[in-house]
């Protein structure tokens, strides 16, 4: 009899933000499905919020030692970053980053050592870039590491060129400069991530974003939540500087383990029953994600625009935005049967529903990939950061959407919805959206471009573990 294959144990470590946790957890499930044991970790405080929001079958997922995923297993174990759950400033970015920088490395080191003592030594660490110190911890413990970039390859290339001063960007002296980067279309100031503009008011956030590139060379692999067919030129061009490997789209729709989630808000699943009552391609879906804050004027104009369109709509309005709606608005639209407002939705299931006609979105990258994977046309309303180039690509490169001018005006809302849903232009958008959907599905299917990259990654870790065992460096 041959020897048993050594245990492969991947540790995924995420920044405590919904938009960071979601894609990393999805990649963790893809890795687990190939056979290894995967431990998913983020801060203890964020873990408590995940547990509080989970229900039914998902509740047991965070209590069980290991959840079967394909040929492998997934488990959760959180590290303590010193957060006080009662501190109202615990989510303030400056406070959070300082706390993670000081408490994260020793807490993560302790967690990794605990795995070894429990008979499951970590074979590879995978993190998302807002925790750059995780790569330093892995290097100190001689563990190979990888990074998952949670935005597009185009945005990665843009930040990379800016950080390394490989191209000229807009300045106070030349604010209207158009930049030309390899593999990307020409991008004016109106197309760039807003954090790179001289007018950017969030300088501390720019510093945090660019800090991701200081030690990224420590990672043996840099992955991107995208797929080769979507950004072929961008991937080819950045490979000349730093190979970036596509493993997306990291979406859950249709996956057998889609109920293993890490949402910190409870999704209003009853909205799916509401959608069942509507005709095919009749409902407008609206969501601005987990962070975007809109002004009172914008909320008023959007609210009237959706109502004036005469189309049924499902609108995700977080509790901290409800007070900005017109007085009595929610009761009025629900009484008329025209609209439904929810605090949070099972977005991938919503986008896959046949009743959805188009998606009014802030164009965060997770939402962008989810709509591409679902084949849904777009009304793009970006606010800041990478949402701006995402909107450009959706409308001008992928050809699946129309841009809603900012600040929103009710007449523009109605006009854009008409363009995205009716007529020859809408039909062309739907056809292109369906073509992208088919390519996205093929990329993550068995033998697809992204699936092959994940398979190769697991094989490389398997070979590394075998060589370390042969050399007597692992026990």
Cα 427 → chain centroid: 28
Query: What is the per-residue pLDDT for 56?
Result: 44
What is the extent of the structural domain holding 357? 270-441
Residue 48 Cα distances to 83, 109, 161, 257, angstroms = 12, 21, 38, 21
Query: What is the per-residue pLDDT for 255?
Result: 55
Query: What is the per-residue pLDDT for 129?
Result: 84
Q: Is residue 4 part of a domain?
A: no
Examine the domain organization and report whether 226 and 161 are in the same domain: yes
Query: What is the per-residue pLDDT for 207?
Result: 84
Examine the domain organization and report whether 217 and 321 are in the same domain: no
Examine the domain organization and report whether 216 and 355 are in the same domain: no
Examine the domain organization and report whether 420 and 454 are in the same domain: no
pTM summary value: 0.91
The Cα–Cα gap between 101 and 2 comes to 45
Q: Is residue 2 part of a domain?
A: no
Give, as one character, the DSSP assignment of residue 82.
Answer: -
The Cα–Cα gap between 377 and 402 comes to 9
Examine the domain organization and report whether 337 and 426 are in the same domain: yes
Q: Is residue 3 part of a domain?
A: no
Show the low-confidence residues of the chain (pLDDT under 70): 1-6, 53-64, 253-259, 261-265, 473-475
Examine the domain organization and report whether 274 and 422 are in the same domain: yes
Per-residue pLDDT of 219-250, as tens digits, reads 999 999 999 999 999 999 999 999 999 999 99
Examine the domain organization and report whether 248 and 325 are in the same domain: no
The Cα–Cα gap between 84 and 20 comes to 21
Q: Is residue 265 part of a domain?
A: no
Query: What is the per-residue pLDDT for 217?
Result: 86
Q: Is residue 49 part of a domain?
A: yes
Query: What is the per-residue pLDDT for 299?
Result: 92
Query: What is the per-residue pLDDT for 205?
Result: 79
β partners of residue 68: 73
Encode 314-332: b = buried (16+ Cβ within 10 Å), e = exposed: bbbbbeebeebbeeebbee
CB atoms within 10 A of CB 468: 16
Q: Is residue 1 part of a domain?
A: no
Query: What is the per-residue pLDDT for 467?
Result: 85
Domain count, the chain: 2
Examine the domain organization and report whether 163 and 33 are in the same domain: yes
Query: What is the per-residue pLDDT for 468?
Result: 81
Examine the domain organization and report whether 341 and 304 are in the same domain: yes
Examine the domain organization and report whether 118 and 152 are in the same domain: yes
180 is catalytic: no
Task: Give the pairing type, strands 245-246 and 221-224.
Answer: parallel
SS3 state at 282: coil
Catalytic one of 9, 20, 161, 278: 20
Give, as one character, the DSSP assignment of residue 448.
Answer: S
Examine the domain organization and report whether 220 and 338 are in the same domain: no
Q: Is residue 475 part of a domain?
A: no
Examine the domain organization and report whether 227 and 140 are in the same domain: yes
CA dihedral defined by 11, 16, 18, 24, rounded to 10 degrees? -20
Q: Is residue 353 part of a domain?
A: yes
Cα 129 → chain centroid: 12
The CATH number that applies at residue 21 is: 3.40.50.2000
The Cα–Cα gap between 356 and 424 comes to 18
The Cα–Cα gap between 229 and 442 comes to 10
């Amino acid at each position: 009899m041959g020897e048993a294959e050594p245990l492969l144990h991947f540790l995924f470590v995420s920044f405590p933000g919904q938009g960071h946790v979601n894609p990393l957890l999805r990649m963790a499930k893809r890795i687990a499905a190939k056979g290894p044991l995967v431990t998913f970790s983020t801060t203890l405080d964020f873990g408590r919020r995940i547990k509080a929001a989970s229900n039914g079958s998902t509740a047991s997922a965070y209590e069980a030692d290991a959840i079967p995923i394909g040929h492998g297993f997934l488990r959760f174990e959180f590290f303590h970053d010193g957060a006080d759950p009662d501190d109202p400033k615990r989510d303030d970015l400056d406070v959070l980053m300082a706390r993670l920088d000081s408490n994260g490395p020793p807490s993560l080191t302790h967690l990794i050592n605990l795995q070894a003592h429990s008979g499951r030594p970590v074979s590879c660490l995978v993190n998302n870039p807002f925790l750059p110190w995780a790569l330093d911890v892995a290097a100190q413990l001689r563990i190979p590491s990888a990074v998952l970039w949670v935005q597009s390859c185009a945005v990665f290339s843009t930040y990379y060129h800016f950080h390394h001063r490989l191209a000229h960007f807009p300045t106070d002296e030349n604010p209207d400069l158009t930049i030309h980067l390899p593999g990307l279309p020409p991008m004016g100031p109106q197309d760039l991530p807003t954090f790179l503009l001289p007018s950017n008011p969030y300088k501390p956030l720019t510093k945090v974003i660019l800090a991701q590139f200081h030690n990224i060379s420590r990672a043996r692999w840099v992955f991107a939540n995208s797929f080769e067919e979507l950004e072929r030129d961008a991937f080819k061009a950045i490979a000349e500087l730093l190979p970036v490997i596509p493993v997306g789209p990291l979406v859950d729709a249709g996956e057998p383990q889609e109920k293993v989630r890490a949402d910190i808000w409870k999704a209003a699943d009853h909205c799916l029953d509401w959608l069942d009552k509507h005709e095919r391609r009749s409902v407008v879906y609206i969501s601005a994600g987990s962070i975007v804050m809109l002004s009172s004027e914008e909320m008023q104009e959007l609210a009237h625009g959706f109502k004036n369109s005469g189309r049924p709509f499902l609108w995700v309005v977080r509790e901290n935005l409800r007070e900005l709606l017109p007085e009595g608005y929610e009761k009025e639209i629900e009484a008329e049967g025209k609209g439904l407002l929810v605090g949070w939705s099972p977005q991938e299931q919503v986008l896959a529903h046949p009743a959805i006609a188009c998606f009014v979105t802030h164009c965060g990258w997770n939402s962008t990939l989810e709509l591409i994977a679902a084949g849904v046309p777009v009304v793009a309303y970006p606010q800041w950061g990478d949402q701006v180039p995402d909107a450009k690509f959706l409308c001008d490169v992928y050809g699946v959407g129309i841009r809603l001018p900012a600040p929103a005006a009710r007449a523009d809302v109605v006009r854009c919805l008409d363009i995205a849903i009716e007529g020859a232009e809408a039909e062309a958008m739907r056809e292109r959206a369906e073509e992208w959907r088919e390519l996205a599905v093929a990329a993550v299917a068995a033998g697809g471009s992204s699936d092959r990259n994940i398979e190769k990654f697991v094989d490389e870790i398997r070979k590394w573990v075998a060589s370390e065992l042969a050399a007597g460096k692992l026990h």
